[in-house]
Amino acid sequence: MSVLSMHALVGAYTPEGHKWVDELCQTIAANVDWAGEYIASRYEGVTFTKPQGTYMLWLDCSKWCDIHGKSLDWVEKAGRDVGVAWQDGRMFHGSCHIRMNLALPPVPGPGGFPAAG
């Protein structure tokens, strides 16, 4: 943990930090809801599990990759090329999965996710 992280953590659990933590949780929850709706409506074959207590969305791209004849490596690169923050899920035992980071400022409506292919 960095010195900055340590001070942020301590500050978040002081009475003054409670408002910030509440706003952070609301922002992350809104990002999770928005991302889930966006993905479900535009990427047939991608399923996901909403996070509980974290800011990472777990995406299963197996069916989408089969439908489009693409590999997980292709999906990862396509996302990174347009600025999507995610990680290969294979290291977490997901054969065709991605972890998407949603700890971001509020997602800006319909243009929040760039097209990734």
CATH of the domain at 22: 3.90.1150.10
83 located within any domain: yes
For residue 91, count CB atoms less than 10 angstroms from its CB and return exposed for 0-12, middle for 13-18, buried for 19 or more. exposed
> In percent, how much of the chain has pLDDT > 70?
91
Which is it for the CA torsion 66, 70, 73, 75, positive or negative? negative
On whether residue 117 sits in a domain, the answer given is no
| Inside any domain, residue 111 | no
11 vs 85: CA distance, rounded Å: 26
Q: Which domain holds residue 27?
A: 3-105
- Cβ contacts of residue 100 below 8 Å, gap of 6+? 35, 56, 57, 58, 59, 84, 85, 86
Residue 112 lies in a domain: no
Count the domains in the chain: 1
pTM of the model: 0.75
User: Residue 117's pLDDT band (boundaries 50, 70, 90)?
Assistant: very low
* Residue 113 maps to a domain: no
